[in-house]
Amino acid sequence: MSSGQLTDNGQLRHFLTIEGLKRPLLTEIMDRAEQFSSISHQQVKKVPLLRGKTIVNLFFENSTRTRTTFELAAKRLSADVINLNISTSATSKGESLLDTLHNLEAMHSDMFVVRHAQSGAAEFIAQHVAPHVSVINAGDGCHAHPTQAMLDMFTIRRHKQHFPNLRVAIVGDILHSRVARSQIQALATLGVGEIRVIAPKTLLPSDCQTLGVHVYHDMEAGLKDVDVIIMLRLQLERMEGALLPSAREYFDCYGLSEEKLALAKPDAIVMHPGPINRGVEIASAVADGPQSVILEQVTHGIAVRMAVMSMTLGSQSEQQEVVA
Amino acid sequence: MTTSFSQADIQVLLNQMAEDIRQQIGDRKPLLVGIHTGGVWVAEQLLEILGSDFFDAPLGTLDIAYYRDDFTRIGMHPQVQPSDLPFNVDDRHLLLIDDVLHSGRTIRAALNEIFDYGRPASVTLGVLIKRNGRELPIQADIIGKSINLTEQQHIKLSNDNGLHLELTTNGGE
């Protein structure tokens, strides 16, 4: 899937999924993010790299953190940003998705940042945009959320450096989580020593074994000696039917309490893509505790998104040069 | 054709630059800023000759990759070092150093970046080599050596256990 996200010479043209991307490219994203992160400490938190570019945040699904950090990333690169909340916009008046797209293209947009409840939506849009437009997937259904995965990898690298020595556990609602899918692909590509998923059977995808992960159904065994714990949000809005008895019972079995955290290595870090459900998948004492890097993840999201935006639009420049 | 300047030749140029710096801005307690990568090497040498007491703060470094005017033509630069100005530039005298002044576009970008950090009282430009080919109204105040080259000729500073300048000519590009 998504072979179309690279240019002929292997540069990022769109950023739709981690799947199929090679380790050097993921490393380049993190290296560039490292370079961009210093800009946030300047007096003027802005560089003119994407001046004159127009970036449209096309959100068919609600988001605060992701949309805000994409918007900040674009603004720190001096691009102009338009936020479109499609659920309250033209499609509700009956306009088709492609018509909306072509209208935005006619306004000379250079990039679409797309979030959509349907898996594959960003790729569909990437297939139909004009050649000069880049598409970044900001989350599509249960499929992928590649910038979230990369900001998580960036956060892990900041704390742990060498991926091959690490044991990483992803805990919670794997089945509905596009974040988990992208994380597993990124962790595997970066050569992480052991990837564990910890979840009840009802929240695991049927193809779990093919992902190259070790599956655990209880926290006590799964968290033993891990370096990184990634908690997932219980996606109540995506649940159909009775997959869980109750939020309370979920916390007892799969919530991260201080006692369960103690099973991991003493220097283990705790991550969560947000928004967190306190007392459902994570205890407040852990979320706010010294091992939590949850707010760092938010900060890193800006630098990683700056990296991906400049790399995709930069590869466009190169292509135009070749054509010219 | 290849011609090169030896380490000793470069040391003469650096000493001359240091002398000119003393004369022009010796009473200003300037802040030293080198442009990555060659300009930082030259600035480090000048710092060694003039001594850290001559300046008011440690060496600052600028990478102007995000301020270039050719992003839409050639995209991202492969290597970017973070800029590091370990001082407040407001109302201070800056000594900006680069290895070669050619089109003037690098200096334009560096000035833009400096002004994103604040409003210096003055900026003095020092370059090891000033060559012809200016495309912008920018000139250096402190110059190691002025040379005239053809469009096919390029001069490049390298640092391999000491600074070397190499003059190369590419055949009919």
Residue spans per domain, chain A:
23-144+299-323, 146-292
Residue B171 confidence (pLDDT): 62
Query: In this complex, which of A49, A317, A321 lies closest to B66 when CB atoms are compared?
Result: A49
Q: Contact A140/A120 with Cβ under 8 angstroms?
A: yes
Prediction pTM value: 0.88
Q: Could you give the 3-state DSSP secondary structure of residue A170? A: strand
Chain B CB contacts of A317 below 8 Å = 71-75
Give me the architecture of the A146-292 domain, per CATH.
Answer: 3-Layer(aba) Sandwich (3.40)
Residue A240 confidence (pLDDT): 59
Alpha carbon of A46: minimum distance to chain B alpha carbons (Å): 8
Q: Pull the structure tokens for residue A286.
A: 């852990």
Q: Could you give the 3-state DSSP secondary structure of residue B29? A: coil
Search chain B and give the residue with CA nearest A36.
Answer: B82
Residue pLDDT, tens place only, A196-250: 999 999 889 888 777 889 999 999 999 999 999 999 998 766 565 666 777 788 8
User: Which CATH number, 3.10.20.30, 3.90.1640.20, 3.40.50.1370, 3.90.1150.10, labels domain A23-144+299-323?
Assistant: 3.40.50.1370
Q: Could you give the 3-state DSSP secondary structure of residue A233? A: coil
Q: Pull the structure tokens for residue A85.
A: 């909340």
- DSSP per-residue letters across B106-117: HHHHHHHHHHHH
Residue pLDDT, tens place only, B69-107: 888 788 887 778 878 888 999 999 999 999 999 999 999
Which residue from A252, A244, A195, A248 is spatially nearest to A219, judged by alpha carbons?
A: A252
Question: Across the interface, do B112 and A321 touch by the CB < 8 Å criterion?
Answer: no
Residue A322 confidence (pLDDT): 46
Residue pLDDT, tens place only, A115-158: 999 999 999 999 999 999 999 999 999 999 999 999 999 999 99
Q: Do domains A23-144+299-323 and A146-292 have the same CATH topology?
A: yes
Q: How far is CA B19 from CA A11, A176, B35, B82, B143, in A?
A: 48, 69, 21, 30, 11
